Structure 1
Amino acid sequence: MTDVAVDQNDPAGLLPSAEEKPEELTEEKIQENEPEDSTEKKNQENEPEAAEGQAAAGDVYRYIKEDLFTSEIYKVEIQNLPKYIGFNDLKKFLNKHGINPHKIKLLGRQKFAFVTFKNQEERDKAMKAVHGMQWKSNVLSVRLAKPKADPILKKRKQEEEADSGQPGAERNTGSQEAEKEEEEPPSIQIANAVTPLWKVPYEEQLMMKEKEVEGVLQKLAREIGNNNKAMLPWLFVQKEKHNKMCCPLEAIRPSPLQTGYRNKCEFVIGVGADGEDRTVGFRLGKYKGGSCAVVSPSETTNVCSEAKRVVQCFQQFIRTTPYAVYSPETYEGHWRQLTVRTTRLKQTMAMVFFNPQKLQEKELEELKQNLGQYFTEGEGKECAVTSLYFVRMGQRTSAGTEDLPCEHVTGEEWIHEELLGLKFRISPHSFFQTNTPAAEILYSAVGEWAQLDQDSTVLDVCCGTGTIGISLAKRVKKVIGIELCQEAVKDAEANAKANGLTNVEFHCGKAEDVFPTILNAVVSPNVTAIVDPPRAGLHSKVILAIRKAEHLKRLVYVACNAKAAMNNFIDLCRAPSNRVRGAAFRPVKAMAVDLFPQTMHCETILLFERVDYSTNTDV
């Protein structure tokens, strides 16, 4: 599984929020937004006009007047969009007419979208081109959109008005609920946010997760029926046998550890809930909710003791420095994030994220030297950090960004782990499952379901450091891994060599670009694909390539979010068409594996097999 998406590193919801100002991107590309209701539009009706006329907007719009880029300044609203269009449809339509948006937010049910641009010229060009244009049977209209208020300043202003007794300043239900939450100790609030099931007995947690996966399989059964009529006789039998599900669901596999299981944690740095400056831990709430307070992870049950010790020592260090914490409200300050990775071999990697602002190189070098000395010779020595990195973050870079270069400060360049009797090295940005004992259960199940032999070729898509493919290599003729992160590919190649494997090869690139070519070149009587993609699932091009390659008969899909991967499942099973070539797959069996105790998340394995209409086995 790749580390591209932050969410994919954090299926348990443990990471600090990367949210900045409203309508702001954390990377230079358009991101699809989930459909929303009309709340945003209604709220914006009461806000001042955008762009040039912001002087009178008040402090809650201060952020758009700073000398920093924000897409809120150049935002338009496109109205009267055709029914049933999706994000990709709108993006292609705009690109076709020479319009390059920075971000698109499509509110499908209301038939309008917010589109932002990088500058006034591009915004004005889009308004002139799109306004009055006909798309299908609809005539589009465009107008300037209104910016969102800064959540922190808006909340502060509401509280000030409420305290002063100004008319109409009564606190809303959300504020009242927030006040109730604030009555609880911060440690309890963090536990509720990070590990929401911490009070639920573990057996009950497993039942809840199994029920969730059962619902996914029932929905998939309905979708298969809607999209592939030829499968209806088989589907009817499956639903009768398996409680309306499209396939049998095996009993959930529990995690060997229920506490302290996470081997990777990302901690934000900010002002503590107690007002103590330079606190390292988890945010009490999201920026868009009006909160930046940070609470120590000392009582968070899924964080291991080694990581907690590093947090405590690092917090002591930064409090001795003259550098302030970074503020997402003002974009000032330096300390931003601490990432800690640990292994069962008692190795620990720490990555310090720092915003240099206008500091001189000499100051930064001195800071890195002091940091290294602290963890090797000073009070931080007790943490036994075996690998220390320093990461420079830009003014607008979100925490957790995976493409930032890491500067090695001290110790080894990698940490090492053992999994299923094999050795693996792990680089700073490489993906490795966050719960190692449970990952062993997951990968063992994948190996059983893949039905491999010495003539098999395994395609390991989104392979990370190569854990799945390497664990299966001795059973098969060849393993081919595909991974986007270059660091992870280098790790995977080193891991194959360290384990004495010569039948494994890895390719770096986007799965949608690399996979079709590799798949077409494979000549083998038994080709099996194992995919372990980020939370959003595989790119549609990968699914189309899988469908088209008739010699690929079996697919094991590992989903960290089965609901988000639903479109992939549907496309694998839908009837052949001009777009989707090749015989359909059908789900054979499924199982949940709990890698994230105390949360609602789990991994789901689905085995798909190609439908063979030349036999009667499809019914």
Structure 2
Amino acid sequence: MADVPPESSVLNEEPCIKPEPPQESKPLEDPTAEKSKDEGGEGEESSSSDVYRYIKEDLFTSEIFKVEIQNLPKYIGFNDLKKFLNKHRLNPHKIKLMGKQMFAFVTFKNQEDRDKAMKVVHGVQWKGKVLSVRLAKPKADPLLRKRRQDGDVGDGQPTPKRLAEGHEDAEDLPLSVRIANVVTPLWQVPYQEQLRRKEQEVESVLHVLTREIGNSNKAMLPWLFVQKEKNKGVCCALEPIRPSPAQTEYRNKCEFVIGTGADGEDKTVGFRLGKYKGGSCSVVSPSDTIHVPAAAKRVVLAFQNYIRTTPYAVYSPETYEGHWRQLTVRTSRTNQIMAIIFFNPQKLPEDETVSVKESLRRYFTDGEGKDSRVTSLHFVRMGQRTSAGTEDLPCELVTGDAWIHEELLGLRFRISPHSFFQTNTEAAEVLYSSVGEWAQLDHDSTVLDVCCGTGTIGISLAKRVRKVIGIELCQEAVDDAKVNAQANGLTNVEFHCGKAEDVFPTVLSALVSPNVTAIVDPPRAGLHSKVILAIRRAEHLKRLVYVACNAKAAMNNFVDLCRAPSNRVRGAPFRPVRAMAVDLFPQTMHCETILLFERVDYGTENSGLKPTP
């Protein structure tokens, strides 16, 4: 499930420093004195205290309760380290594993937890390695560090390193070209060449998967050898990439940051020219970007004109001061437009914040903003937690409808502010049609739609099957999905709210249908390992369609589906039989990848496997 590719992400481009709500605890006496291998930590003179200014603010950051765990075993992953710490009754706040270097940085919410970790873990033997723990230096503020390195203490807008294809000096290019190179890096590449590159990327993923299957399931080697002969060296057939019907103005959801313009203009709404950690906070208008629809650009311009008339400053990720944070715009083919305004009240009185909302209402209903034709206006109050996600923040309806609606594959879907819906509607129709074809469904089938969002995939397949069961974490999306099923006249669909790893095993164990197909469309990081283990245990689940927005990140899922049975991984393995890329993000290197996995049947002669005695 890929709502926003990195090029268009806004909140994810906030600083790596993560201030959080105040906690009752004491910081390190001198957090800048410790030397460590942390980013920006090694070799930095203590006189550079400005790069640690954020830890002295009236904010909590777990960076001040940070340790470095050294001499870790080889080949461990994030989940391995987290389980190890939890086993010792430690509650880490953040973990950053430095894989090849065999050490990790771990932060805690308070000094007591940090000191307990140092006492408990230091000297412990784990997988043949004796661990050592020491205090770690907080991460330097990346913007201030970059300025100091560049000798630039002025506007903090160093030249981005990413260059346009065919240009040598990005610095000499117009801002419209520079921002296009950031948010749509392939905009100057012919579309057929874009498709070729994306298909090549998926092919490289299949090569890795082929190797990993051979390493994790020796019994599959005979089958794997045959597949490689048939499919140009990979484990399954790679079908031609499916293009997006629309290559421009296709994004139905865009997130715009608010900051100082790269041209020096204050209160500019658009995209960041670079990332905070690269030393830049400057913003460029989306007016010339080709992936943003005209309707969204109208809202951006209207909102920018509005905030420039207000006395409130834009929020600064450097100082944590200011108010205007972000604008999210959702559009649809039904000509409805949703605008979500993110505002940090700071220490404003409640009546002043209410006055801001009322002013916005008047502007977009009776004022100049009326021409932007916003039909659903929401207001979100944000706190100091600059890098937190927005999914849990309540939206206050300012004016208009609470939702917008979209039409897809002849069906109508309600969309709430926080609900997931594919950002390219026309290409989503291509994607979901392919998923339905690959799933090989009939009227006796039961479909498990995991990470279902507003229910688009399951609802689009419901009339072809006996039952659809959707699972989704976001309550807003589940509410939308239930309404969508009812609005489309479906009675054989049910939805469950919760973490997939908690809900999925329960749902599976209650199913008695002999014909079960799972369709999973998870976030970038893939499914929780508990979900994969539950899928493996459910022997009546014979087919799985995996929609991956980042196939490389989902590799562990793919391998666990195929690995040999063990005490941890029970049940017959799956094997990949088809793969295909679908281009949902033209002008970028991102695409969706569909993989069809089928359960190995030990009873057939051509399975390539022998049943475990």
Match of 1:465 among 451, 454, 464: 454
SS at match of 1:617: helix
Between the aligned partners of 1:504 and 1:79, the Cα distance in structure 2 is 50
Between the aligned partners of 2:44 and 2:194, the Cα distance in structure 1 is 44
The match for 1:609 is 598
Cα deviation 1:162-212 (Å, max 9, x = unaligned): 99xxxxxxx999799999433322211111111110000001111111111
Between the aligned partners of 1:17 and 1:71, the Cα distance in structure 2 is 19
Alpha-carbon distance change, 219 to 157 in structure 1, aligned in 2, over 3 angstroms: closer
Between the aligned partners of 1:489 and 1:603, the Cα distance in structure 2 is 23
Conserved in 2, the CA contact under 8 Å of 1:27 and 1:397?
no
Between the aligned partners of 1:349 and 1:598, the Cα distance in structure 2 is 24
Cα deviation 1:403-442 (Å, max 9, x = unaligned): 1000000001110011000010000000001000111111
The match for 1:340 is 329
| Paired residue type of 1:131 | H
Q: Identical aligned pairs, as a percentage?
A: 76
Match of 1:89 among 63, 80, 83: 80
Conserved in 2, the CA contact under 8 Å of 1:47 and 1:147?
no
Between the aligned partners of 2:439 and 2:59, the Cα distance in structure 1 is 51
Cα deviation 1:578-597 (Å, max 9, x = unaligned): 11111111111111111110
The match for 2:117 is 126
The match for 1:538 is 527
Alpha-carbon distance change, 401 to 431 in structure 1, aligned in 2, over 3 angstroms: same
| Paired residue type of 2:523 | P
| Paired residue type of 1:575 | A
Note the C-alpha offset of 1:25. 6.8
Match of 2:70 among 79, 87, 91: 79
Between the aligned partners of 2:246 and 2:206, the Cα distance in structure 1 is 27
Alpha-carbon distance change, 487 to 175 in structure 1, aligned in 2, over 3 angstroms: closer
Between the aligned partners of 2:17 and 2:315, the Cα distance in structure 1 is 20
Alpha-carbon distance change, 506 to 286 in structure 1, aligned in 2, over 3 angstroms: same
Matched, 1:425 2:414: yes
Between the aligned partners of 1:99 and 1:317, the Cα distance in structure 2 is 48
Matched, 1:10 2:4: yes
SS at match of 1:44: coil
Match of 2:486 among 497, 500, 519: 497
The match for 1:53 is none
| Paired residue type of 2:391 | E
Conserved in 2, the CA contact under 8 Å of 1:22 and 1:149?
no
Large movers: runs of 4+ above 6 Å: 25-28, 171-179
Match of 1:225 among 214, 223, 227: 214
Note the C-alpha offset of 1:132. 3.0
Conserved in 2, the CA contact under 8 Å of 1:387 and 1:415?
yes
The match for 1:150 is 141
The match for 2:508 is 519
SS at match of 2:239: strand
Cα deviation 1:492-542 (Å, max 9, x = unaligned): 000000001000000000011001111111111311111111111111111
Note the C-alpha offset of 1:268. 0.2
Conserved in 2, the CA contact under 8 Å of 1:17 and 1:286?
no
The match for 2:44 is 47
| Paired residue type of 1:64 | I
The match for 1:451 is 440
What is the aligned length? 591
| Paired residue type of 2:453 | G
Alpha-carbon distance change, 62 to 41 in structure 1, aligned in 2, over 3 angstroms: closer
| Paired residue type of 1:605 | I
Matched, 1:62 2:53: yes
| Paired residue type of 2:107 | T
The match for 1:392 is 381
Note the C-alpha offset of 1:21. 4.2
Instruction: List runs of 5+ in structure 2 lacking aligned partners.
Output: 23-34, 609-613
Between the aligned partners of 1:564 and 1:491, the Cα distance in structure 2 is 28
SS at match of 2:335: coil
Question: Which is further off, 183-192 or 420-429?
Answer: 183-192
Match of 1:115 among 84, 91, 106: 106
Question: Which is further off, 327-336 or 218-227?
Answer: 218-227
Match of 2:178 among 189, 192, 200: 189
SS at match of 2:396: strand
- The 5 A counterparts of 1:199-598 are 199-398=188-387, 400-598=389-587
Between the aligned partners of 1:409 and 1:383, the Cα distance in structure 2 is 16
The match for 1:166 is none
| Paired residue type of 2:495 | F
Conserved in 1, the CA contact under 8 Å of 2:18 and 2:386?
no
Between the aligned partners of 1:17 and 1:413, the Cα distance in structure 2 is 23
Between the aligned partners of 1:506 and 1:566, the Cα distance in structure 2 is 27
The match for 2:25 is none
SS at match of 1:514: helix
The match for 2:32 is none
SS at match of 2:476: helix
| Paired residue type of 2:78 | F
Question: Which is further off, 358-367 or 40-49?
Answer: 40-49
Alpha-carbon distance change, 228 to 158 in structure 1, aligned in 2, over 3 angstroms: closer
Query: TM-score by structure 2 length?
Result: 0.92
Alpha-carbon distance change, 181 to 71 in structure 1, aligned in 2, over 3 angstroms: farther
The match for 1:167 is none
Aligned-residue Cα RMSD (Å) equals 2.4
The match for 1:33 is none
Conserved in 2, the CA contact under 8 Å of 1:278 and 1:319?
yes
Conserved in 1, the CA contact under 8 Å of 2:186 and 2:589?
yes
Alpha-carbon distance change, 250 to 160 in structure 1, aligned in 2, over 3 angstroms: closer
Conserved in 1, the CA contact under 8 Å of 2:249 and 2:291?
yes
The match for 1:52 is none
Alpha-carbon distance change, 40 to 600 in structure 1, aligned in 2, over 3 angstroms: farther
Alpha-carbon distance change, 298 to 478 in structure 1, aligned in 2, over 3 angstroms: same
Alpha-carbon distance change, 595 to 406 in structure 1, aligned in 2, over 3 angstroms: same
SS at match of 2:60: coil
Conserved in 1, the CA contact under 8 Å of 2:315 and 2:323?
yes
Between the aligned partners of 2:416 and 2:568, the Cα distance in structure 1 is 39
Query: TM-score by structure 1 length?
Result: 0.91
Question: Which is further off, 489-498 or 87-96?
Answer: 87-96
Between the aligned partners of 1:608 and 1:18, the Cα distance in structure 2 is 32
Question: Which is further off, 104-113 or 81-90?
Answer: 81-90
Conserved in 1, the CA contact under 8 Å of 2:39 and 2:140?
no
Cα deviation 1:569-617 (Å, max 9, x = unaligned): 1111111111111111111111111111001111111111111121123
Between the aligned partners of 1:320 and 1:540, the Cα distance in structure 2 is 50
Conserved in 2, the CA contact under 8 Å of 1:114 and 1:145?
yes
SS at match of 2:92: coil
Conserved in 2, the CA contact under 8 Å of 1:268 and 1:280?
yes
| Paired residue type of 2:139 | K
SS at match of 1:568: helix
Alpha-carbon distance change, 43 to 397 in structure 1, aligned in 2, over 3 angstroms: closer
Between the aligned partners of 1:595 and 1:141, the Cα distance in structure 2 is 46
Conserved in 2, the CA contact under 8 Å of 1:47 and 1:146?
no
Instruction: List runs of 5+ in structure 1 lacking aligned partners.
Output: 2-7, 29-37, 50-55, 164-170
- The 5 A counterparts of 1:23-34 are 23-24=17-18
